[in-house]
Amino acid sequence: MSGPADRRPRLRVVAIADADSFVKWSSALIDAIPDVNPHLVLVRTPLLVSEEQQAAALAGTRLSAADVTRVDHDALTPWLAADRPDAIVVAGRGPFVRLVLRQVDRLPVRPVTVSGLPGMSIPAQRGAALYRRHVDLLVVHSRRELRAFRELTGRLGVSVELGLATLPYTRSAPSDGRGTDLVFAAQAIVPRERADRAALADILRRAALADPTRRVVVKLRSRAERGEQETHLERSAYQELLRDRPENLVFSHEPMSVALSRAEGLVTVSSTAAVEAIAMGVPVIALDAFGVSKAHLNTVFVGSGLFGDADDVVARRFRHPHAAWLDDNYFHDPAASTWWARVGELVTQRRRGELPARYVPAPRGGALHAAWHRKAVLGAEDRTVAGAVALALGSPLVRAILAARRIRGRRGAGTWSDDSSDITVTPARHQDPIRRRGRTLALSAVD
């Protein structure tokens, strides 16, 4: 016989995403919520995951292909109006989040809006806060991130409520410890320069040659030959840099959890895969061969005991993190993660008419700016005349803005050059281009 708790209606929660890392994060985040009806909506942009990338992202969750809907951007509002979710998690790069929120603003019945970042988010970046400042709740994943985003939003004069969540990847089952692979978590923009990426490829080649009986596995997120994209544009791919490689140096596109189940240890510069490995009991080397800085997104590992150099990688001298680092960095007590309880309270307030909508204001540049923003996110998926005009007129302007930033520099406290702080109040150091399948168009929107 069912009790009162069994008869309570489940909240309907929908994650809205496009790119691979955000699909993995948002699906794992909503999968961790008890007693909800979860669904995943994928919006067609040039970054949209392939069916294979989708399957890898959903691996280990209760979501299947039947729980996924793919829609065009203009069909999103009608879909949400028909589904009437209680809460949505908008999961994508900042410009994507803002574009989706504009669609949410058109709904007659407004859900509670949530957003966040798909992994370790130290340093807390200016754009991450500015693009997401109109959601009802911004999710962070560690006590350290909570402090950093409070400081950042205060410095920027941004008002947005923060909620602490457990990073979904920390729920991985422990490994049996019998793996023999050295797994390298490849990243598209860290390190960024071709010379550094070539040097890293050489380290992996040396590690493979040092012991031909054990594999070195380069874990990749996309297949360029199939037109697959990643969240960030990769300019020097490891497939190209490692054309000449020993037989025991291999590429893999399987889910990270599967790769780690056969791992002796993980090597990364700054990938969130380190957290997934730690959760499974797999030791890690956070490679510091290119320095420890905000530019390499690896200051989060300071104090962890995980840093190692090229010789450590070749010798496979993996490390486990210091206990004191864990509680402040992604391994806090799950009871402290109250973000979903807060979402429930916000849903109740909205139903009572007590939660004002946080509308995205009209862009300062008017219709042309709005058209540029849409084109920046949708690329070739945007076929409007306004988008084509905005692209032609806006590209030189954006290039001028970026050039001016480089001339002014970014020195001082809380900037990219200040490695002692956990925030950046200055804009992103690099801008990815507007993309379409097969080629790029122009620089994307700047914050």
pLDDT tens digits, 37-65? 999 999 999 999 999 999 999 999 999 99
The dotted CATH code for 7-166+333-351 is 3.40.50.2000
Q: What is the mean pLDDT of the chain?
A: 90
Q: Can you tell me the mean pLDDT for 287-304?
A: 97
Question: Residue 389: pLDDT band by 50, 70, 90 thresholds?
Answer: confident
How far is 224 from 189, CA to CA, in rounded Å? 16
CA distances from residue 392 to 13, 389, 442 in whole angstroms, order as listed: 39, 5, 9
Cβ neighbours for 439, distance < 8 A, ≥ 6 positions apart: none
Question: Residue 6: pLDDT band by 50, 70, 90 thresholds?
Answer: very low
- What percentage of the chain has pLDDT greater than the value 90? 75
Angle between helices 76-83 and 94-104 in degrees, nearest 10:
60
Whether residue 229 has pLDDT greater than 70: no
Establish whether domains 7-166+333-351 and 181-328 are of one fold: yes
Is residue 119 within 8 A of residue 143, CB to CB? The reply is: no
Segment among 215-219, 256-260, 390-394, 423-427 with least mean pLDDT: 390-394
Segment among 48-52, 181-185, 370-374 with least mean pLDDT: 370-374
In the chain, what are the domain boundaries? 7-166+333-351, 181-328, 366-443
Helices in 280-384 by DSSP H: which ranges?
310-315, 323-328, 339-351, 366-378
What's 368's DSSP letter? H
CA 47 to chain centre: 13
35: left (phi over 0), alpha (psi -120 to 50) or beta: left
pTM across the whole model:
0.92
Q: What token pair was written down for 107?
A: 């709904």
What does the pLDDT look like over 98-156, one tens digit per residue? 999 999 999 999 999 999 999 999 999 999 999 999 999 999 999 999 999 999 999 99
Alpha carbons within 13 A on the beta-carbon side of 266: 32
Angle between helices 366-378 and 385-408 in degrees, nearest 10:
90
Whether residue 228 has pLDDT greater than 60: no
Whether residue 388 has pLDDT greater than 90: no
- Which residues partner with 91 through β-bridges? 17
Residue where the block lists tokens 């905000």: 294
Question: Mean pLDDT highest for which of 272-281, 370-379, 419-428?
Answer: 272-281
* The domain defined by 181-328 carries CATH number 3.40.50: yes
